[in-house]
Each structure stands twice: as C-alpha cells, then as structure tokens.
Chains A and B, each alone.
Chain A
Amino acid sequence: MRLNHFACAAALLAATAAALVPAPAQAQTKTLRFVPHADLKILDPGFTTAYISRNFGYMVYDTLFALDGNGKPQPQMVDSYTRSQDGLAWTFVLRPGLKFSDGKDVTAADAVASIERWAMRDPFGAALKNAGAQWAGIDAATFRLSLKRPFEMVLDALSKPSSFALVVLPQRLAQRPTTAPLSEVVGSGPYLFKRDEWVPGNKTVFVRNPGYVPRKEPPSGLAGSKQAHFDRIEWLYLPDSNSAVAALRRGEVDFIESLPADFIASMQTDPGMNLQSSGAYQGQLVMNHLHPPFDNPKVRQAVLQAVDQERFMAAIGYPPNMRMAHCATYFICGSPNETAAGAEPYRKADLARARQMLRDAGYKNEKVLLLVPSDVTYLNALALVMQQTMKSIGLNVEPVSMDWSSVTARRAKRNAPDAGGWSAYATVANEFSANSPIANIYLSAACGNTLPGWPCDQRLDALRAAWLYETAPARRRQLLDDFQRRAYETVPYVSLGQYQAASVARKELKGTDKLWAGIPNLWVLDK
C-alpha cells in the first residue's frame, strides 16, 4: 500500500516536472506580439470612429492612396492618376495583380463602391459630395472622378489616416446597408485576419497575405512597400498595464502601443527598451452650445481665457519633454496647418480677466454640469482640473461622476443640463482628428450638425467652405488663419493643450524608427 502511494507520488512529481519543462519552440514562425491600445470589438473600419478598428483596417485592407512620412499623399493601390488642367476631372488606374483574400481581383468597381460607402460617413467624403463628386468605373482597372467645382484636397481625402480611413472592400460588401457593421473580412492588405483564432477581449491573429503585392518604393509613413516581414502578428490585449510591461520585460510581447504615463520613466532608463512617441494628442473641452451658460460665446471665451494648458497636460502625467507648455493652434503644433492667428489674447491664462469676462457676459450663475469619467485616468484628470478652473473664475460647476460609456450616452442628449442633459466634458483627439478645419470634427461640424455639443456659426461654415474649395496656396493659408481667428471668437471647443503619447518596443525589434505618427504600420517592423 505504501509502495503504491510512493509510486503514485513519484509519477505525479515526474509528470509535473515534465510539464514544467518548456515546450520546444514552434517551427520557425516569425511572430510579432503586439499589445494594442484597446480591445478590438468592431471589424469594420468604415462603421466606427474607434481607432482600433481603423488600425485593424490597415492590417487587412489596403488604401488607394496613403500619406508618406512627410504627410504627403502617395499612390498605394493606385498605379497612376491624371488630373485635368481645371482640376475637375481625375482618372485613376489600379496597380496590376491586386487580389482580395477570397482570390478575386480588385477592380475599379470595388474601388468606386468603397469610396461611395466611405463618403456616406466621412466629413471629407461629404465635402467631396458638396463639390459635386461623381465616381464611375471605366474598365476593370480604371475609374474616374468628375467634380463640379475644383477641390484641392482630393488626394488628402482618399489618403486620410484618421477614423473612417478609406479602405477598399469588395463591391458586394461595400454595397451592403450601412446600418450594421460588416462582420465579413475580405481585404487585399498585407495581412489576413485569422477569424478562427480570434478571441474577442483577448487575442487577434493575423498571418501574412501570400497574395499581397507590395509597392516597389521603400516604406514611408503609411505609404510605400508593405513587406510584411512577420509570418504572424498577434495582437494581445493586456488590460492590466503592470502585466503588459512585465510581459514586455520578459520578452513575451515585443511592442506596447500605448504606454501609460506612469511607466515612461522606468522604460526610458531600461537599456533593453526603445521608447518612442506614438503621435500627438490634443486635449479638448467640449461645451454644450444649446443651453446656458455655454450658449453664450462670451462665456466660452471666459473659460478659454482661464485655461492654463500646462496644468492640464501636467495632470495627464506625461513628462515635460512629452507635453507642450502651450499650443496656440487648433490644428496641432508641428503640423503643416499650425497657425497662431487669433490666439494672442489667450496665450497666457488670466483668471482675473476670465472672471471679468464672465461678469461682462452676463452670466447668471446657471449650473454647469461637468461630466467626469471615473474609469479613464487621463480624462478623469482633465475633468478634475477643469472643475477647479471653472470654479476659480466663478462658474457654478457641478461635477457628475460616471463611467466613460455613460458619458458617451449622456453627451448625445440634447436636453437642458437639469433635465438629463449636460454642459461640458473633456476628451482627447489624435493629431489626424484635429489637424485641419475638415479633419477636426468639432471644427468641421457645420450648423445643423448632430455632433454632441452642437456648435454652430455660419461665418465659420463659410470660411471652412472657402478654404476647402480655394486652390491658390497663399489664399488658402489666409483663409486658414481667418478660420482660426473666427474659431477663437466663437470657441466651438477649448483646446486643453497638446502632448505626445508614448509607445515602447524591445530593442531587438528592428524598424521602430519607421513607425509613424502613432498609427501601428506594423509591416515596417522586423526581428
């Protein structure tokens, strides 16, 4: 009996020991393990503005044009294009050999259907429509754009890298109703989505697309060759930052897309790690223009006068070299559209002047209901500093704490603040969602818009349209300045400053210098 017990115990120990011996590495599959900034929920980048769905789109789909490392549009699926002298007629020819993952050729009809689907949702698409855009296929590889008025930004629109990036789908999918997201994924991008290995909330797997035809040019930004050096890319969603950083240190993952501010200092001094900027972000205070007190532009100006951007950015927690003391432009400092027009009075926060402006505006102590998300650290920090700022100039502010999903639901309500509505909330936007009068959603919203906050100024609308359709560069610049000047007068929203988000990769990961503007163009990486 004792012998049996001993034998059992010995067998158990042996089995345990055998189990703990690491399994042999899988046969030569070069894998990149990437920790994305969020969990992938929606597989349709044309349906949601969530960046994670856009990033998914760049993995499995391709775009007609793409921005290079200098922010200039370059042909991607397009082989060549022509533009008529007057700018009203454009012809595009697709590269030969492009194939979808179902084996079918990519045709001009697919491109046209995809553009038409995109134009239903995207502000750029709407602007093109307003210019009388008509798209038509000519033959299998050629399609045409005709415009009623010149539109200088055709290529910028087709290559836009923000939410609703224009990816090319098969015609049969692009023509489906847009009331629900597409769940079928048929792309012609550098990677294929492995649906059978997808664990929502945990893991998304891609394998190299054997049918992908890369361009000849070297990779630059989102343009050029997408060589896809890895056989397999795994997106591992690790919601706990400590675990993600520990997994990176241990070598279980190679790259963390969004590094929380708390870990920046330790990663900067770790010789095995490569820390880099992952794009510029702008803090934003969105105010409800429908109800007092923020229906009054003078009250909005008073809040703008009180904002010390440095304080807001410090509260988010990024080190001084990753945040700006002050950024005067609405259109991202360091971007081609940076301008200081109209910003001079607000360059320095002045609480005494803000209090006076509030009195002059005729503020009647109306309640300001500030939505404070409790579950998103950096948004919580912005809201708390805003609460203090508003209080310090005499606004009757009442914070309402809730989770972010509740904020997103509440902000859609048009009711007065004391009837289930709201007055203000803080958020952030990536540089590509802020860097021009058309890309910046709170500045691109024309009167009659359904955007939370409902900003409306007809002069601003006229200036935006004039800028969009102007063709002379000097005049466009002038109109951009005029637009921002007017924005500083009517204050569609308040910029709370600009910071650089951080990502971190293990040193052995090659090509991280080619990562660009916070969009994970993972095809440039290698090991």
Chain B
Amino acid sequence: MSYLIGRLLAALPVMAVVAVVVFLLIHLSPGDPAALIAGDLATGEDIEKLRVALGLDLPLWQQFMVWFGKLVTGDLGVSIFSQVPVTQLLAQRLEPTLSIAALTMALTLLVALPLGTLAAHRAGSWIDRLVMLFAVLAFSVPVFLVGYLLVYGFAIRLPWFPVQGYARLADGAGPWLRSLVLPCVTLALVYIALVTRMTRATVLEALHEDYIRTARAKGLGVLPVLLQALHNAAVPIATTVGMGIALLIGGVVVTETVFAIAGVGRLVVDSVQRHDYPVIQSVLLISAGVYVLINLLIDLSYRFLDPRIQY
C-alpha cells in the first residue's frame, strides 16, 4: 500500500512538468487560433479583437496561470472553437477509443499468445518461419494500407462491415461490434506481430530453462509444459501489452481517420491543427496521466505474475 501511495505521489511532479512542457510547446508553436476562427477572409483587426476576447493577447505566464488555476479545480475549460466543454468532448470520444483499445487487445492476446507459443515450441521449423514471416509483414505494412485493403475486401466487395463510423454500444451490441471489426483487425495486426515476437522469444528462453527440462523428463505433456513456460514468460509480455494499451488510448490517429471514428486520437490531431489550446492541453495531460497509471498497473501486475518480485 505504501508503495502504491508513493508511486501515486511521485506521479504529481511528473504531471506538473508535463503540464508546463505541453503548455509551452503548444503556445510557442507557430499558428493562431484567432486567425483560424475568424476565417479566410477576416481582416487583421477582426483577428486582433478575437485574440483579446480569447485572452490570447495576455503574456504567456498569465495565460498559463489562468489555465492551471482552472485545472486544479477540475475545470478543463471550453474548446475555443466549438465552445463545447472539454469534459464533454472527452466523454464523447472516450467510448470509441476504449472500445477500440479493449477489442484490439483482446484480439491480440487471443491470436498472439498461442501463435508465439507455437512458434517457440516449433522453433526453426517451417511453422516458426511462417509465423515470423507473418509477424514481419504485419508489422511492416502501413496501417492505412491494411485499412484500405480491409475496407475494399470486407466492406465493398463483401459488404459485411461498414466502411466508416462508430455505432455506440447503447445502440446494440450487433452494430457496435460490426463497426469495430475492421478498425480493430487493422490495428491488431501490428500488435499481434509485436506480441507474437515477444512471446516467441520469451517462451523459447523459458523452454531452455532447467525446470522445464526436468518437467519434460518427468513426463509432463506438451501443453502443460508450454503453459508453464508461457506463465514464466508473462512479465515482459505484460509490459508490451500494457504499453500497447497506453499507445492505443493515446491515439490511433490513422485508423480513426481511415474509418472516420471520432476517438481521442483524432481529437488531439484536429485540436493541434486548429490550435485549440484548452483541448490539446487537457487531452495531452490526461494521456500522460493514463501512461503513468498504466505503468503503475504493469508494475503491480508483475507481483501477481511472478511472486518472487517484491516491492
């Protein structure tokens, strides 16, 4: 428990540094939201008036204090374009992003763990080579290309899934799942490749350990042996999966763009393009928080996966 509290407290200065860095990076980059809001044909005077109204004419430190002051009271501010509260924008975007992340990771574990273990079991055989070839290909082909190919194959030629869009879970499990199959398969290919390689390497290492040799000598079957090896190889796999989830929540912009899914990734990119400061700052800060939290969860999971680890 003291470890947990210590880790959470240690996260606070990290988040404070992230807040400052994010603020400075965004405000010092060229571009002016007032000019974008005012539109293509606006005059310089129009833009200047808007800058004053938005508080963008204030010195940078004052703008930071205003933002930070609201932040500590839990107020993430309002999008300077749509005037929609950032919390509402995030609430709209979280469901698709979490759905994609959960389904992609489930698919990844379902495919990658058996595949990697099988490759390790048959190391050097044609099966192993085939699995590794698949992993290399899945990792190398650009995500957008996989997306387009899947859309062509399974939305246009075989009209099984929609081309674009996200159906909310509240509208029924069927439409929800149908809207997620193609984007999740597209994304999962990369993670399957990653986790398959990691699983193969760690299981292979475990299979060469003395205790496995002993277990085999005692006549333990292939499946129990592999399961034991997989269990002992779980720590590095958990790290890879955990970081994968963090990346997925942080933003899978290409997939969200190709399949026109309004998730957190596209929210970040759209906001950066239009310099919507309150949205970018809040989302990046929350993403950093998610990274810290997932790192903590990964560390805690080690204890369950390997009882030898003590905190």
Contact = CB atoms under 8 A, between A and B. Distances in A.
Interface of A: 15-16, 18-23, 39, 41-43, 47-50, 53, 121, 163, 179-181, 183, 198-203, 236-240, 242-244, 246-247, 249-250, 252, 375, 402-403, 405-406, 408-412, 414, 427, 429, 433, 441, 449-452
Interface in B33-66: 33, 35-50, 52-54
A179 B50 contact: yes
Interface string B242-284: 0000000000000001111010001100100111000000000
B155 A427 contact: no
Interface residues of B, number: 61
8 contacts: A15-B173, A22-B174, A50-B40, A163-B41, A237-B260, A246-B155, A247-B260, A408-B36
A200 B177 contact: no
B2 interface: no
Given A16-B177, A433-B41, A247 B35 contact: no
The listed residue with most B CB atoms (<10 A of its CB), out of A49, A163, A249, is A49
A180 B53 contact: yes
A165 to B, nearest CB: 13
Contact of B30 (A48, A49, A250, A406): A406
B35 A199 contact: no
Nearest to A237: B260
B127 interface: no
A409 B178 contact: no
B164 to A, nearest CB: 5
| B interface majority secondary structure | helix
A163 B257 CA distance: 29
A200 B178 contact: no
Interface stretch (B78-86, B113-121, B135-143): B78-86
A239 B36 CA distance: 18
A441 B41 contact: yes
B188 interface: no
Contacts, number: 163
Given A200-B82, A408-B36, A449-B43, A41 B177 contact: no
B105 interface: no
B47 A405 contact: no
A183 B79 CA distance: 11
A236 B92 CA distance: 15
Contacts of A406: 30-31
B81 A200 contact: yes
A49 B41 contact: yes
Contacts of A48: 37-39, 42
Given A20-B174, A250-B163, A450-B44, A239 B35 contact: no
Contact of B164 (A181, A252, A375, A405): A252
B162 to A, nearest CB: 6
Contact of B31 (A23, A240, A405): A405
A405 B36 contact: yes
A216 to B, nearest CB: 35
A39 to B, nearest CB: 7
A53 B83 CA distance: 14
A405 B178 contact: no
A179 B80 CA distance: 13
The listed residue with most B CB atoms (<10 A of its CB), out of A48, A53, A180, A198, is A48
Given A183-B83, A249-B156, A49 B163 contact: no
B36 to A, nearest CB: 5
Nearest to B275: A405
A516 B273 CA distance: 31
Interface in B124-170: 148, 151-152, 155-156, 159-160, 162-165
